[in-house]
Amino acid sequence: MRDVWIRGAAMTHFPKHDRGARELVEEAVAGALADAGLEPRQVDAAFAGNASGGLMYGQESVRGQVVLRRSGLTGVPIVNVENACASSATALHLGWQAVAGGAHDRVVVIGYEKMDHRSRPRRRQAINATMDLDEAAELFGPEAARERYLQLDAMGTSRQFSRELLSLLSVKNRYHGSLNELAHHRQPVTVEQVLASPAVSGSLTSLMCAPLTDGAACLVLCSSGSRHGRAGGVRVAASVLLSGRGDDMRRRSSIQETARQAYEAAGVGPEDLDVVEVADVTSLAELYVYRELGLCREGDEERLLKERTVWLGGRLPVNPSGGVLARGHPMGATGAAQVVELTWQLEGRCGQRQVPASRLALAQVAGGWIGTDVAASCVHVLQA
């Protein structure tokens, strides 16, 4: 298989936009192609990840062709990818396969989401759709969709963390987000503010949960690492996608297994990482993922956070972008946005939130929930 390089990377701001999905995608695609120094006519294929366009606005079947129709990319193969919050990470995995396997030399990967912020029922429906609806109805009844989603998220860990620790995690990511000009939330918060915010589910408060936002992120993958006439760049050292274990508790969690395969494929271990982006849909989710990725042993999560190991300035910053807690969670765009951030980190383009001398990065995102596990799990390892 050939090496695959990220030659261009761009994303939009992630607030609640007045603009539609097509305009957001056009901004991200134009930015990534300019970053890569390529024209649309030089692209061989496009992979478009989106999670909720059908439920939000009724656009099914040809979403990628619709949002890309004015981008100059029409005529090339366009693959539409829907895989819950892992939609654009899955699109990236497919794009990586296409280039690594020699089918294409240059592909565009796009992730985007445009929520209908006027309709709470539609947003609830989109959240519900990331689960087995029969299972969700049996467990939680027909109401409180967002609460169901967060409770299912909480079921992924066998031990509970204190409310103070969950709050401190939110403080970390909101501080990181304050340094990110593209983040939805740019105002730092205190532990007291997080604890005092409205209760959502169990120990979780609203400031421990990611906001559903709009946005788009785009990556240009190439078989050559040349960027703007210079050698080098960011290489995709590993790309692993798995479905969850469902009801089979004899198997390890999909996040743990995805990470294991990614480390093996890249020839590295968690101790080699310099910077990490994970899917912190809640504060609890990030703390849980630390152990699943091998960043610590079970029970050491509190130490990582309180000793500031995972803060900017620590040995292994996690979510220097602010994560989805601060950057925002445009479901189908999140996986690609993580990799855009890490590409910028490895290229030294992150300004105040730059992790110095970073050479190896990992992105983790999960989508949906089935039985005892997430429905989709994706891990990418990037190397400068």
Q: Give 130's contacts (C-beta < 8 A, 6+ positions apart).
A: 51, 84, 85, 149, 331, 367, 368, 369, 375
Q: What is the mean pLDDT of residues 21-41?
A: 97
CA 156 to chain centre: 18
The H-or-E segment that residue 311 falls in is none
Q: How many domains does the chain have?
A: 2
What pLDDT is recorded for position 160?
A: 75
In this predicted model, what pLDDT tens digit does every residue of 237-249 receive, in sequence order? Answer: 999 999 999 888 8
> Do residues 174 and 30 both lie within one domain?
no
In whole angstroms, give the CA distance from residue 333 to residue 327.
11
In this predicted model, what pLDDT tens digit does every residue of 332-355 receive, in sequence order? Answer: 999 999 999 999 999 999 999 999
pLDDT band at 143 (very low <50, low <70, confident <90, very high): low
pTM of the entire predicted model: 0.94
Q: What is the mean pLDDT of residues 202-216?
A: 93
> Do residues 109 and 175 both lie within one domain?
no
Q: Identify the active-site residue in 13, 85, 184, 222.
A: 85
> Do residues 244 and 223 both lie within one domain?
no
Q: How many CB atoms are closer than 10 A to CB 1? A: 9
- Please report, rounded to a whole number, the percentage of residues in the chain having pLDDT higher than 70: 93
> Do residues 138 and 198 both lie within one domain?
yes
**Structural domain boundaries enclosing 26:** 5-117+214-230
In this predicted model, what pLDDT tens digit does every residue of 78-116 receive, in sequence order? Answer: 999 999 999 999 999 999 999 999 999 999 999 999 998
Is 85 catalytic? The answer is yes
What pLDDT is recorded for position 371?
A: 87
pLDDT band at 136 (very low <50, low <70, confident <90, very high): confident
Contact 247, 255 (CB under 8 A): no
In this predicted model, what pLDDT tens digit does every residue of 33-58 receive, in sequence order? Answer: 999 999 999 999 999 999 999 999 99
> Do residues 40 and 107 both lie within one domain?
yes
What pLDDT is recorded for position 229?
A: 45
Alpha helix (H) residue ranges in the chain: 21-36, 53-57, 63-67, 87-100, 120-128, 133-140, 145-154, 163-178, 191-196, 254-266, 283-292, 301-306, 323-327, 334-346
What pLDDT is recorded for position 71?
A: 97
In whole angstroms, give the CA distance from residue 312 to residue 310.
7
Q: Give 383's contacts (C-beta < 8 A, 6+ positions apart).
A: 234, 235, 237, 266, 346, 359, 360, 361
CA angle at 22 for the pair 19 and 25, rounded to the nearest 5°: 100
> Do residues 99 and 28 both lie within one domain?
yes
Q: Identify the active-site residue in 17, 93, 184, 329.
A: 329
> Do residues 272 and 340 both lie within one domain?
yes
Whether residue 282 is predicted with pLDDT greater than 80 in this model: the reply is yes
Six token digits for residue 292: 């699943």
Whether residue 152 is predicted with pLDDT greater than 60 in this model: the reply is no
> Do residues 70 and 161 both lie within one domain?
no
In whole angstroms, give the CA distance from residue 343 to residue 338.
9
Q: What is the mean pLDDT of residues 247-254?
A: 89
Nearest by Cα to 111 from 8, 214, 247, 205: 214
> Do residues 327 and 199 both lie within one domain?
yes
Q: Average pLDDT of the chain?
A: 92
> Do residues 106 and 146 both lie within one domain?
no
> Do residues 132 and 83 both lie within one domain?
no
In whole angstroms, give the CA distance from residue 63 to residue 74.
13
Q: What is the mean pLDDT of residues 269-282?
A: 97
Q: What is the mean pLDDT of residues 151-180?
A: 82
CATH number of the domain enclosing 341: 3.40.47.10
Q: What is the mean pLDDT of residues 9-37?
A: 96
> Do residues 172 and 257 both lie within one domain?
yes
Q: What is the mean pLDDT of residues 201-212?
A: 91
Whether residue 259 is predicted with pLDDT greater than 70 in this model: the reply is yes
Residue 382 three-state SS: strand
pLDDT band at 122 (very low <50, low <70, confident <90, very high): confident
What pLDDT is recorded for position 230?
A: 45
Is 218 catalytic? The answer is no
In whole angstroms, give the CA distance from residue 330 to residue 327.
9
pLDDT band at 209 (very low <50, low <70, confident <90, very high): very high
